[in-house]
Amino acid sequence: MIVEMRKGATKEEVGAVVQKAKTMDLDVQLNIGTDKTVVALLGSNTGQIDKDIFAVLPGVESVTRIMKPYKLASREFRKKSTVVDCGGVKIGGERIIVMAGPCAVESEEQLMQAVEGVKNAGASIIRGGAFKPRTSPFSFQGLQKKGLELLAKARDKYGLPVVTEVVDPYDVEMVATYADMLQIGSRNMQNFALLTNAGKSQRPVVLKRGFACTITEWLTAADYLLAEGKNQVVLCERGIRTFEDSIRFSLDISAVPVLKKSSHLPVIVDPSHAAGHYSLVPAMAKAAVAAGADGLLIEVHPNPKEALVDGLQSLSISDFTRLMEELRTIAKAVGRYI
């Protein structure tokens, strides 16, 4: 249930709503805006509570019952679009943010070459995997802590913030020490212990869509992060599994405008994992920008043929540089910039 306070409602009036909710064993989340405060009342029994109990309280303008499974990620809770801050880089504004780098950190030389290349091309955030959960336990699993140290070194050298994946709830604190933003991968979208721990961290989070999950399930997973008091969450569409086998995953471009309508959270797109092949990445990236995505997550490797992970879907630095120029034209056409 959403309680919207009148413009200029006092702290005492907001406090009275909160106190009333607590006496009814409801959890409370506050969205304090510049003009109004919105109070989300959360609990399994909100459907049985009479709205008038809160509607009659002083300072209350309206009470709305949210019928969707997701609450805090919804537009009803926050009408204004959220802007997420990743190390000083704003995601969700007029500027389209490009996060780029290797799928996996393999060595210092490989990482530094990649980061220098993507920065020169106009990327705003370094992406790189230190922990690589793979389908096979015998595949390269990443450099782990050493990879985190190299990512931090690249940030210090090139001045770009870092986003990297965390795969274990117990590793959240360690990864947050090195990274500016945490990434929850597709396989872990419904790892609720991981989501809860990541929500308690001091870092913003990129939440990738599970490759067999609906948008409703995705936004409900985002609520786990938001329920911990974190409002710095970015949604990442990376393709879903369908009957189509000509590409790695089917990129759901329609998810971008659907999410923009349904949620206040920023939306980015990962064309690399959906494509599965470097030749398809540029077209998917352009489509995402045209559809209204707030950013892109692109895999770039200085020598894709020698990559230990996902070399086939990684762009070379020259290909990425060319793509960035083409994306600037499309961004301008939709009233934005890179």
**What is the pLDDT at residue 90?**
98
The dihedrals phi and psi of 210, each to the nearest 5 degrees, come to -60, 140
CA gap 249, 256 in Å, rounded? 16
CA gap 89, 124 in Å, rounded? 7
**What is the pLDDT at residue 36?**
87
Output the six-digit token pair for 98.
């490009």
104, 134 Cβ separation under 8 angstroms: no
Report how far Cα 301 is from the mean position of its chain's Cα atoms: 22
**Looking at residues 81-96, what average pLDDT do you find?**
97
Same fold, 2-64 and 84-333: no
**Looking at residues 71-95, what average pLDDT do you find?**
95
**What is the pLDDT at residue 46?**
80
pLDDT beyond 90 at 20: yes
Give me the residue spans of the domains in the chain.
2-64, 84-333
**What is the pLDDT at residue 233?**
98
- Confidence at 138, pLDDT banded by 50, 70, 90: low
pLDDT beyond 80 at 274: yes
Helix axes 255-262 and 281-291, enclosed angle (nearest 10): 30
**Looking at residues 58-81, what average pLDDT do you find?**
92
**Looking at residues 309-325, what average pLDDT do you find?**
96
Number of alpha helices (DSSP H) and beta strands (DSSP E) in the chain:
11, 14
- Confidence at 291, pLDDT banded by 50, 70, 90: very high
Highest mean pLDDT among 48-52, 228-232, 315-319: 315-319
Of the listed ranges 55-69, 174-188, 312-326, the one predicted with least confidence: 55-69
pLDDT beyond 80 at 44: no
Of the listed ranges 43-47, 75-79, 221-225, the one predicted with least confidence: 43-47
Of the listed ranges 12-16, 72-76, 139-143, 245-249, the one predicted with least confidence: 139-143
- Confidence at 161, pLDDT banded by 50, 70, 90: very high
**Looking at residues 170-188, what average pLDDT do you find?**
96
**Looking at residues 36-51, what average pLDDT do you find?**
87
- Confidence at 119, pLDDT banded by 50, 70, 90: very high
Output the six-digit token pair for 36.
């109004």
Task: Output helix, strand, coil percentages for the chain, rounded to the nearest 5.
Answer: 40, 20, 40
**What is the pLDDT at residue 47?**
77
- The CATH superfamily label for domain 84-333 reads Aldolase class I (3.20.20.70)
pTM for this predicted structure: 0.91
- Confidence at 134, pLDDT banded by 50, 70, 90: low
CATH top-level class of 2-64? alpha beta
Identify the residue with better confidence: 61 or 33: 61
150, 169 Cβ separation under 8 angstroms: no
Mean pLDDT of the chain: 94
230: left (phi over 0), alpha (psi -120 to 50) or beta: beta
pLDDT beyond 90 at 137: no
CA gap 40, 35 in Å, rounded? 17
pLDDT beyond 90 at 155: yes
pLDDT beyond 70 at 149: yes
